[in-house]
Amino acid sequence: MQYLSSPVSKISLVTTYIILIVTGIINVAIVDYSYYMGDLFGEYNIIDLELAGSVLQAKTILDYWTNLGVIQWIYFNLGIDFLFIVTYTFFLFFACHTSALQLKSFSFFIHLGLVIGWLQPIAGILDLVENYALIQVLSGSVDEIWPKLASWCSMPKFSIALSGLAYCVIALTISTSSGLLSKMK
């Protein structure tokens, strides 16, 4: 059966695992840092700003952070997010493709994983556009398009990235259980 093309199939498994481990470690460190910093930002987090959708709501969040004296950390977090975009996109692309290519006799899940893997760069592009819009909001723009654009990019970005994570968990479960079943025969 003919599958979608995957550049991962042309890379050695060792190289693929190295990419997955390095990007995975960076992702965990960034998520851990973001979780830790979340306490600093009070009742709002960066996702609230991403989903604000209006200048009024974004201004409410920014005023709150300004009053807390943490606005500089929001800029820093946004800068860290640019690294995170690269690492989570690579990680999910490689993880989906590697997982899909390991499933030898599940053609539907192979195709699904390759498609979801190819969607991950789109999540990264949406995240870049979202960050650009957030920079405009943080810079004090009162143009209503920026918080709307950030919100519009945010939801599909989250959907694509979470579908990649879900696929990897499901593929790992299928791969592990089919391996265990074959050993029991």
User: How confident is the model at residue 37, as a pLDDT?
Assistant: 82
Predicted pLDDT of residue 177: 77
Model pLDDT, residue 178: 66
Region 148-176: mean pLDDT is: 94
pLDDT at 160 over 90: yes
What local confidence, expressed as pLDDT, does residue 112 receive? 94
What is the SS3 string spanning the chain?
CCCCCCHHHHCCHHHHHHHHHHHHHHHHHHHHHHHHHHHHHCCCCHHHHHCCCCHHHHHHHHHHHHHHCCHHHHHHHHHHHHHHHHHHHHHHHHHHHHHHHHCCCCHHHHHHHHHHHHHHHHHHHHHHHHHHHHHHHHCCCCCCHHHHHHHHHHHHHHHHHHHHHHHHHHHHHHHHHHHHHHHHC
Of the pLDDT bands very low, low, confident and very high (cuts 50, 70, 90), residue 2 is: low
Q: Where are the domains of the chain?
A: 9-184
